[in-house]
Amino acid sequence: MALANVQQEGSWIRVYDEKSKRISQMSSSGAELAAVGGDFFVTLEGGWIRTYDGNCKRIAQMSSSGITVRNAAGQTFITREGSWIRTYDRNCKRISQKAV
């Protein structure tokens, strides 16, 4: 399912389809929306980077220690880790990296 919009609204993270109809929502307590990909979104929760699908079901997680989430597009998200730019898939599996 393609995500048209994901927003942090008050104490909720809400997911919308291309017709602006709300598909799902989850509590944003302790979570910060970090990036939105084609069919998933990324949150920062405590010491974790977590990915969720359009139904707010957790897909995967990884430690956020020393990592900044920069962006998401399609099926991937990009992080800055020290002097590295790294690309991960929605399952938090590293795909590539480049020194900066």
Asked whether the whole model's pTM tops 0.75, one would answer yes
Other residues' Cβ atoms within 10 Å of the Cβ of residue 81:
13
Q: What angle do CA 25, 21, 91 make, to 5 degrees?
A: 50
74 touches 59 (CB < 8 A): no
Q: Write down the pLDDT at residue 1.
A: 67
**Positive/negative CA dihedral, 62, 11, 9, 18:** positive
Q: Write down the pLDDT at residue 26.
A: 98
Please compute the mean of the pLDDT values over residues 19-23 and round it to a whole number: 92
Q: Write down the pLDDT at residue 75.
A: 94
pLDDT above 90: residue 2: no
pLDDT in tens, 31-84: 999 999 999 999 999 999 999 999 999 999 999 999 999 999 999 999 999 999
- Domain boundaries defined on the chain: 5-99
